């Protein structure tokens, strides 16, 4: 009996997924737990293993289709095995892609008639994801060319429309000339008028990042406050303890120290752990800190939940785990959801100072610059005038940049939060 491949529950809050890529074609043999397809939800691509061994009999949901959790994606069974194609198709609103010779044309026609009578299809079928994107960008879906079955508008179609049209043409905009339109190659990657230019199509991750960053800038009035931090205390602690952590299989980086300091600041200044709504400011009682992880194709922000309840070892282990999972494409689909504050350590590549963009709908994000030795002045005197007590010393120093939503935080409150973060780092216990 054929085994149905269903859309898995990829996270508590995930109700659907989009087929990014099939790794097998109908008629291909497959082993149990062998990668079968990739599913994408926002910025995360998840590889789905086969639930059974056998032959891929049919693909029900094509690439680009959005399917609810529990919906049928494909069937696996013995080569030549028959299945109820019409019933399968009706569950997801698409026609199965059958292997050669498995089903005759009359059977496919009958199943197609049954499908149309049971569920909207073609342009009449709009998935929740497509409807949401169209609503957010005020798009008339009648203007979007659908590439799905029967002209159905898929998520890929509507995102491409947003990218190419900006959702709404600007008044007075000049239409591209025929020469300009002809400048792209047939594959859309080469500008034939200027051989020195190459067009790189947007990946799903890059498109999502672009949309999210533009949305954030349009939503929140950003203000950035910069603090200089003497990192001597955390550098000494790390040097003294990283071998102990390594013996437990944990790589001790500086990021956990900053997470701990931010968690302390959020506890003492709860308004920094909030989000703005038209009804008022929603203050989060729990502290879930997102940590930006750089990937080859962009970045992703997995969340460390209840970060204030973890000690340094727990934070270090959690940072290691989410960073490794992110770079291997093994994050759970909801691993990036529910964050209340974000940290981005741009200093790992040598950057001194940055002005990060807020991760909506949060109210703040902390940028961490590189830690480097600098000559600084230390004095026992509280006066800013030169004195005999002044001394020039070498210290490991970094700059912290706090971008915050001015609708929620004022400068004085933001500075109070940053003063706590700075104090926690500069007075970190030696033991």
Whether residue 250 is found in the same domain as residue 314: yes
Length of the chain: 431
Most confidently modeled range among 149-158, 286-295, 379-388: 286-295
pLDDT at 127 over 70: no
Mark which of 86, 119, 152 sits at the end of a domain: 119
Which CATH number covers residue 153? 4.10.320.10
Q: What is the pLDDT of residue 117?
A: 44
Q: What is the pLDDT of residue 223?
A: 95
CA dist 278 → 44, 223, 275, 319 (Å): 30, 20, 10, 34
Average pLDDT, the chain: 81
Q: Which residue among 31, 104, 306, 410 is the active-site one?
A: 410
pLDDT at 224 over 80: yes
Mean pLDDT of 322-342: 87
Question: 44 falls in which pLDDT band (50, 70, 90)?
Answer: low
Q: Which residue among 212, 237, 406, 415 is the active-site one?
A: 406
Task: Tell me which of 18-22, 38-42, 166-170 is least confident.
Answer: 166-170
Q: Is the pLDDT higher at 270 or at 19? A: 270
Whether residue 227 is found in the same domain as residue 91: no
Whether residue 149 is found in the same domain as residue 98: no
Q: What is the pLDDT of residue 361?
A: 92
In sequence order, which ranges of 277-359 are alpha helices (DSSP H)? Answer: 312-327
**Domains in the chain: how many in total?**
3
Mark which of 94, 119, 144 sits at the end of a domain: 119
pLDDT at 289 over 90: yes
Mean pLDDT of 322-350: 88
Sign of the dihedral defined by the CA atoms of residues 228, 312, 318, 287, in that order? negative
Instruction: Please give the full DSSP string across 112-152, using - where no structure is assigned.
Output: HHHHHHHS--GGG---HHHHHHHHHTT--GGGSPP-SGGGP
Residue 196 resides in a domain: no
113 part of the active site: no
Q: Is the pLDDT higher at 229 or at 41? A: 229
Domain residues for the domain of 292 are 206-426
Q: What is the pLDDT of residues 253-279, one digit of tens each?
A: 999 999 999 999 999 999 999 999 999
Task: Tell me which of 96-110, 257-271, 311-325 is least confident.
Answer: 96-110
Q: What is the pLDDT of residue 177?
A: 39
Whether residue 310 is found in the same domain as residue 342: yes
Q: What is the pLDDT of residue 367?
A: 97
Whether residue 8 is found in the same domain as residue 154: no
Mean pLDDT of 186-211: 70
Whether residue 29 is found in the same domain as residue 141: no
Which CATH number covers residue 300? 3.30.559.10
In sequence order, which ranges of 166-200 are alpha helices (DSSP H)? Answer: 178-181
Question: 152 falls in which pLDDT band (50, 70, 90)?
Answer: confident
Residue 175 resides in a domain: no
Task: Tell me which of 30-39, 130-139, 369-378 is least confident.
Answer: 130-139
pTM score:
0.64
Whether residue 304 is found in the same domain as residue 381: yes
Whether residue 337 is found in the same domain as residue 384: yes
pLDDT at 110 over 90: no
Cα separation, 165 vs 418, whole angstroms: 41
Cα separation, 50 vs 77, whole angstroms: 11
Q: What is the pLDDT of residue 14?
A: 66
Most confidently modeled range among 25-39, 83-97, 102-116, 345-359: 345-359
Mark which of 119, 135, 151 sits at the end of a domain: 119
Percent of the chain past pLDDT 70, that is, above it, reads 77
Which CATH number covers residue 75? 2.40.50.100
Cα separation, 220 vs 373, whole angstroms: 35
Q: What is the pLDDT of residue 150?
A: 65
Mean pLDDT of 200-219: 83
Q: Is the pLDDT higher at 134 or at 29? A: 29
186 part of the active site: no
Whether residue 270 is found in the same domain as residue 159: no
Most confidently modeled range among 121-135, 196-210, 336-350: 336-350
Mean pLDDT of 110-119: 42
Task: Tell me which of 38-52, 240-254, 308-322, 374-388 is least confident.
Answer: 38-52
């Amino acid at each position: 009996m054929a085994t149905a491949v269903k859309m898995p529950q990829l996270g508590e809050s995930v109700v659907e997924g989009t087929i990014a890529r099939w790794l097998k074609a109908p008629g291909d043999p497959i082993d149990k737990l062998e990668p079968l397809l990739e599913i994408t939800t926002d910025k995360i691509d998840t590889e789905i293993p086969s639930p059974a061994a056998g032959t891929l009999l049919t693909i029900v949901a094509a690439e680009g289709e959005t399917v609810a959790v529990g919906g049928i994606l494909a069937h696996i069974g013995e080569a030549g095995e028959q299945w109820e194609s019409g019933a399968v198709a009706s569950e997801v609103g698409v026609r199965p892609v059958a292997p050669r010779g498995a089903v005759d044309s009359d059977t496919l026609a009958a199943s197609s008639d049954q499908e149309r009578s049971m569920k909207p299809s073609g342009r009449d079928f709009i998935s929740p994801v497509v409807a949401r994107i169209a609503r957010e960008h005020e798009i008339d879906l009648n203007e979007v060319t659908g590439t799905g079955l029967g002209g159905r508008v898929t998520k890929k179609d509507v995102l491409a429309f947003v990218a190419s049209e900006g959702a709404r043409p600007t008044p007075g905009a000049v239409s591209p000339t025929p020469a300009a339109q002809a400048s792209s190659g047939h594959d859309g990657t080469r500008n034939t008028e200027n051989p020195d230019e190459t067009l790189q199509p947007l990946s799903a991750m890059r498109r999502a990042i672009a949309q999210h960053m533009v949305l954030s800038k349009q939503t929140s009035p950003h203000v950035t406050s910069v603090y200089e931090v003497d990192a001597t205390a955390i550098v000494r602690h790390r040097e003294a303890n990283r071998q102990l952590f390594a013996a437990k299989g944990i790589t001790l980086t500086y990021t956990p120290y900053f997470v701990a300091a931010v968690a302390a600041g959020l506890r003492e200044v709860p308004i920094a752990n909030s989000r703005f709504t038209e009804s008022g400011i929603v203050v989060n009682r729990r502290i879930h800190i997102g940590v930006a992880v750089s990937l080859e194709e962009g970045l992703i922000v997995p969340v460390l939940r209840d970060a204030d309840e973890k000690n340094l070892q727990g934070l270090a282990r959690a940072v290691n785990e989410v960073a490794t999972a992110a770079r291997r494409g093994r994050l759970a689909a909801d691993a990036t959801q529910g964050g209340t504050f974000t940290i981005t350590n741009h200093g790992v590549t040598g950057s001194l100072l940055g002005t990060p963009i807020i991760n909506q709908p949060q109210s703040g994000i902390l940028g961490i610059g590189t830690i480097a030795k600098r000559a600084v002045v230390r004095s026992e005197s509280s006066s800013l005038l030169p004195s005999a007590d002044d001394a020039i010393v070498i210290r490991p120093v970094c700059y912290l940049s706090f971008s915050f939503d001015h609708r929620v935080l004022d400068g004085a409150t933001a500075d109070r939060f940053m003063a706590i973060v700075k104090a926690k780092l500069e007075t970190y216990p030696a033991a």
